[in-house]
Amino acid sequence: MSDSAAYGAVMARRAEILRRSTGIDYESFRRGRFAFDYESLMSSTGYSLEEARRIQAEVNVGSTPLLELRNLTGLVRSMARPGHGARLLVKDEAANPSGSFKARRSALSVHEAWRRGYPGVIAATSGNYGAAVASQAAARNLPCVIVQEVFDSRGVGQPEILEKTRACEAYGAEVIQLTVGPELFYVQLALLEETGYFNASLYTPFSVSGIETLGYEVAQDCRRVAGKDPDLVVITHAGGGNVTGTARGLRQAGCDRTLVVGASVDLKGLHMASDRDFNRKSFTTGHTGFGVPFATWPDRADVLFNAARPLRYLDRYYTVTQGEVFYVTEALAQLEGLERGPAGNTSLAVAVALARDLPAEAVVVVQETEYTGAGKHSTAQLTFARENGVEVRRGDPTENKPGQVIVIPERPEQIQAQASPLDELRRSYLRHAWQVSGGDLGQADRDFFPADLGASPEFVEKTLAALDAGGK
């Protein structure tokens, strides 16, 4: 390997590689050590909501149905006290060409690459986004490379990721498979520099703006179907783009009183970059291994300033266990005749738990579904868990232990969403900034943090003062 291709050398050229591969001069938005002009970055795409919808319509993305879950609503009401049990609706994003909402976030990125004459597109992802980019690249007749973390050091790959590999290749993409570790973004950067392709990152403003159409449609569809704005929109939370884009779309539609609720699978105790833990987590996305780190430090992404900023928009954040999501996945199939993939059913599990305690006239929208397939199906995931030494049994889901025991509920009443206090995530964000800066935070950063955290200036100053005084 030449010196110029070594890890350190490539990472040192990161800013320039990103500028050439996205057309975004990230440094021009910088206002402090951590602060940047977020709204200017988002508007730098040049795409209005109306234009984004038009571009997506050209490639058959969006305008997905909002489905009423009558039988699940009935189940919720059978468990609720009189006058309670909210109405459940779900936006069926599995109707998109690649089978998930990520068709929306890839559509603008691939369109931008096509419009500007890039020779192809590259994305680093092990999830549905890879299939979405590959699908959109095929529609625009552009070559596509997807870089995936697939294997542990034994060469064993997760069935859900292998299913997504198959999908990417079906759309004509070249897939580069890696073992778990720190090299994913390095390989992506090296390939971007070598090929001159467009960086269809999950975290650019093109990607996040594409999801705004989903939030806008949720609002419009709910008004048509239910005659009112949704009271809650429950969104599976991983890297933050789903929450951010949907919330921005809801705001543009005028849903000022709608609560934005994040939902993740609780995988506390499993390290996402651990070789041992890699194949013991059963969920490749929508879990706390992404949801918490990306909330507390969004700029850990493959771009300088991440356009996905979940704490700006979250009103509440809940977690559920693996077993509860598997249970709800089966309930959706057997009660509603909808066989859908695991990640979207994370938000459905939270919605079922919350709807029980809401008035019957309330409306809860589950923001997305996704396709299922051989490797994504519950049976494949549970079989793989057993093969990796994880116990799978029926019982009380509070006995679930990530990486050790998956407990599937025996009764729907056992589904209980656990609140994750947002202030704890906000304090963690500030603690990280304080540690990285050595406590030397300029006024631009202090002015930036309240908006980025969805917090008051008083909360920020009180937290930083405690850190300055030697607190934790």
Beta strand spans in 248-398 (E)? 259-265, 316-320, 363-366, 391-395
With a pLDDT cut of 90, the percent of the chain lying above it is 89
Domain residues for the domain of 451 are: 422-468
Alpha helices in 395-456 (DSSP H): 422-437, 443-453
Q: For 392-435, write each residue's pLDDT tens digit.
A: 999 999 999 999 999 999 999 999 999 999 999 999 999 999 99
Closest CA to 94 of 378, 375, 355, 342: 342
- Interatomic CA distance for residues 276 and 403, integer angstroms: 10
Q: Which residue has the higher pLDDT, 228 or 278?
A: 228
Residue 42's closest CA among 184, 197, 208? 208
Percent of the chain with pLDDT over 70: 99
Angle of helix 128-139 versus helix 159-170 axis, rounded to 10:
0
Nearest 10 degrees: CA dihedral of 131, 133, 136, 140? -130
Q: Are residues 292 and 430 in the same domain?
A: no
pLDDT at position 472: 57
The reply to whether 218 and 131 lie within a common domain is: no
From 182, 205, 228, the end of a domain falls on: 205
Query: Are residues 357 and 408 located together in one domain of the fold?
Result: yes
Provide the token pair at 388.
């990796």
Whether the predicted pLDDT of 19 surpasses 70? yes
Distance CA 243, CA 317 (A): 11
pLDDT of 1 > 60? The answer is no
Residue 51 lies in a domain: no
Under the banding of pLDDT at 50, 70 and 90, the label for residue 2 is low
Buried b (16+ CB within 10 A) or exposed e, 44-57: bbebebeebbebbe
Residue at 41 is within a domain: no
Q: Say whether pLDDT at 8 is over 90.
A: no
Q: Place 11 in a pLDDT band, splitting at 50, 70 and 90.
A: confident
Cα 196 versus chain centre, distance:
27
Please tell me the predicted confidence (pLDDT) of residue 35: 98
Domain count, the chain: 3
Mean pLDDT of 336-342: 95
In a domain, 231, yes or no: yes
- Indicate if 15 and 78 belong to the same structural domain: no
Q: Are residues 355 and 444 in the same domain?
A: no
What distance in Å separates the CA atoms of residue 260 and residue 250, rounded to the nearest whole number? Answer: 9
At residue 471, the pLDDT reads 60
Residue with tokens 């467009």: 198
> What pLDDT does residue 302 have?
86
191, 297: one domain: no
Question: What was the pLDDT predicted at 127?
Answer: 87
Assess whether 160 and 266 both reside in one domain: no
Q: What is the pLDDT of residues 147-202, one digit of tens each?
A: 999 999 999 999 999 999 999 999 999 999 999 877 888 999 999 999 999 999 99
Q: Over range 61-76, report the average pLDDT.
A: 98
- The predicted model gives 312-320 an average pLDDT of 98
Residue 44 in any domain: the answer is no
Residue 318: DSSP 8-state: E
48 occurs within a structural domain: no
279 and 385 together in one domain: yes
Q: How many CB atoms lie within 10 A of CB 78?
A: 11
Mean predicted confidence (pLDDT) in 344-361: 97
Same domain, 177 and 255: no
Does 253 reside within a domain?
A: yes
Same domain, 174 and 304: no
393: in domain: yes
Does residue 112 sit within a domain? yes
Q: How far apart are CA 405 and CA 246, in angstroms?
A: 33
Burial 6-39 (b: 16+ CB within 10 A, else e): eeeebeeebeebbbbbbbbebeebeebebbbebe
The answer to whether residues 463 and 386 belong to one domain is no
Q: Identify whether residues 229 and 201 lie together within a single domain.
A: no
The CA R_g of the chain, rounded to the nearest whole Å, is: 21
Any idea what the CATH number is for the domain that residue 319 is in?
Answer: 3.40.50.1100
Strands 316-320 and 418-419: antiparallel
Q: Which of 363, 376, 355, 405 is nearest to 85 (CA)?
A: 355
Tell me the C-alpha distance between 170 and 182, whole Å. Answer: 27
Of the candidates 106, 176, 96, the one whose C-alpha atom is nearest the C-alpha of residue 140 is: 106
The amino acid at residue 424 is E
Point out the domain boundary residue: 419, 440, 457.
419
* Mean pLDDT score across all residues of the chain: 95
- Give the per-residue pLDDT at 182: 77
Last residue of a domain, one of 163, 183, 205: 205
